[in-house]
Amino acid sequence: MTRRFLSYAKFNVYLAVLGRRADGYHELDTLLQALSLADTLTFTATEGTRIEVSCDDPRVPADGDNLVGRALALLRERHGVRRGMRVQIAKRIPPQAGLGGGSGNAACALAAANLIWRLDLPEEALERLAAEIGSDAAFFIRGGAQRGRGRGERLAPTEALPDSRWIVVKPPWGLETGLVYRGLRAVLTPPQERIRMVLEQVAKRDPASVARSMFNDLESAARGVKPEVGEVRAWMADQGLDGAVLAGSGSAW
């Protein structure tokens, strides 16, 4: 059996960092919105138990080093599955961009294998597995618009952004998520008022007002890792782009 699935990108309308947790992660409050930009994943059930993952983008690791391979291995381990899968990824979401390409692919693999292997797991079970793969991976099981707390895995549905075109700007270099978070300094501005402003503008259904209220507490840390982040910000201001915000840990906007 061969099936094709779309794995969508996301962006963070706002991303507030509330502090560092005892487990080493950061406590977040973020509004995640799915985008129409998507990878195409082709799944083929195979004889035996081997999991094979390939990608048309050489920057993306293959097989066991890929989050898709890790997700399928985790699913098999937890639910006693003894079946194989071949996955081909046609990549359109750039890696190391903060758009959730890897996490989204992992979540897509869980949902696809649940159907192809006929496991009949509920969405909540897939979300729990996805959260073990990546902090934002559970979001991609649900999609749409979700407010994420904790590491970003505790989700609550929220009002979607008004229909509009959102421009994604991706510089030729990427940013590693771990390096950006390690470079994060204490956030001095309490986020509650900024969060309230974003949510109010989303409720008003005015894309321009939403764009002007968006923020990301990781931007200064990303600039510390890669000073060119500041140059991209300045270039976008020169172009008159309204309310540009870094996507996740970058490097896309």
Q: How far is CA 222 from CA 71, 98, 176, 246, 250, in A?
A: 28, 11, 9, 9, 7
Please tell me the least confidently modeled range out of 43-52, 115-124, 182-191, 216-225.
182-191
Res. 11 pLDDT band, cuts 50 70 90 = very high
Res. 201 pLDDT band, cuts 50 70 90 = very high
Would 205 be classed as within a structural domain? no
HEC sequence for the chain? CEEEEEEEEEEEEEEEEEEECCCCCEEEEEEEEEEEEEEEEEEEEECCCCEEEEECCCCCCCHHHCHHHHHHHHHHHHHCCCCEEEEEEECCCCCCCCCCHHHHHHHHHHHHHHHHCCCCCCHHHHHHHHHHHCCCHHHHHHCCEEEEEECCCEEEECCCCCCCCCCCCCCCCCCCHHHHHHCCCCCCCCCHHHHHHHHHHHHHCCHHHHHHHCEECCHHHHHHHCCHHHHHHHHHHHCCCCCCCCCCCCCCC
Would 193 be classed as within a structural domain? no
> What CA–CA distance (Å, rounded) separates 141 from 171?
28
> What CA–CA distance (Å, rounded) separates 63 from 198?
40
Q: What is the pLDDT of residue 24?
A: 85
Would 214 be classed as within a structural domain? no
Percent above pLDDT 90 for the chain? 82
Residues found in the chain: 253
Residue 54 has pLDDT above 60, yes or no: yes
Res. 162 pLDDT band, cuts 50 70 90 = confident
Q: What is the pLDDT of residue 141?
A: 98
Q: What is the pLDDT of residue 187?
A: 63
Please tell me the least confidently modeled range out of 49-58, 143-152, 237-246.
237-246
Res. 135 pLDDT band, cuts 50 70 90 = very high
> What CA–CA distance (Å, rounded) separates 110 from 132?
12
Q: What is the pLDDT of residue 207?
A: 86
The yes-or-no answer on residue 63 being catalytic is: no
Residue 48 has pLDDT above 80, yes or no: yes
**Number of folded domains in the chain?**
1
Whole-number mean pLDDT of the chain? 93
Res. 185 pLDDT band, cuts 50 70 90 = confident
Q: What is the pLDDT of residue 189?
A: 67
Res. 159 pLDDT band, cuts 50 70 90 = confident
The yes-or-no answer on residue 136 being catalytic is: yes
Would 6 be classed as within a structural domain? yes
Residue 243 has pLDDT above 90, yes or no: no
Percent above pLDDT 70 for the chain? 97
Would 185 be classed as within a structural domain? no
Would 210 be classed as within a structural domain? no
Would 78 be classed as within a structural domain? yes
Give the range of the structural domain holding residue 34, as residue numbers without chain letter.
2-157
Would 227 be classed as within a structural domain? no
Q: What is the pLDDT of residue 84?
A: 97
Indicate which CATH number applies to the domain containing 93. Answer: 3.30.230.10
In the numeric block, the tokens 């897509």 are attached to 108
Q: What is the pLDDT of residue 46?
A: 96
From the candidates 91, 136, 217, 226, which is the catalytic residue? Answer: 136
